[in-house]
Amino acid sequence: MSQVNRWQEPAYLAFRVVVGFLFACHGAAKLFGVPAVMPGGTVEFASWPSWWAAVIELGGGVLVASGLWTRIAALISSGAMAYAYFVVHQPGGVLPIHNDGEPAALYSWLFLLIAVIGPGRLSLDRVLRRSGAKVPALG
């Protein structure tokens, strides 16, 4: 069992970075059209809820991937995706497979898990705290 346990932190780091990166890509695509243009194009500045969701996606994704203020960023991101699922997708059908809400539902649960687990030992929060830097305790 110890062989598996020694890979736990690196595996969680990879999980957190990949989830955060993919989420940030959604936000960047909606805000700036990079790395790809979303089907609806970029969102209008300060439009509710699209622009705000994109800001949460970009910012939350970067923070979660880096491990900085991870818990609060993941909790906000989870809530934003739960809102997206119930307000945007669920009117189209009860199950995510029927209403194209699978990504929103998955991101909501993934970020809730990250919020509960926290940043892990391999995170920017941990590095900054070890170096003696003053990091506000947001996550």
Residue 137 lies in a domain: no
Chain mean position to CA 84: 13
Report if residue 139 sits inside a domain.
no
Residues 56-87: pLDDT tens digits?
999 999 999 999 999 999 999 999 999 999 99
Half-sphere exposure of 70 (CA within 13 A, CB side): 27
- 135 found inside a domain: no
Q: Is 136 inside a domain boundary?
A: no
Structural domain for 84, as ranges: 2-130
pLDDT on residue 120: 93
Q: Count CB atoms within 10 A of the CB of residue 42.
A: 17
**Residue 122 placed within a domain:** yes
Structurally, how many domains does the chain consist of?
1
Element (H, E) at 3: helix 2-5
pLDDT tens for each residue of 84-131: 999 999 999 989 999 999 999 999 999 999 999 999 999 998 888 888
Question: Is residue 138, in this structure, part of any structural domain at all?
Answer: no
The answer as to whether 46 is a domain residue is: yes
Does a structural domain hold residue 121?
yes
DSSP collapsed to 3 states, 18-70: HHHHHHHHHHHHHHHCCCCCCCCCCCCCCCCCHHHHHHHHHHHHHHHHHCCCH
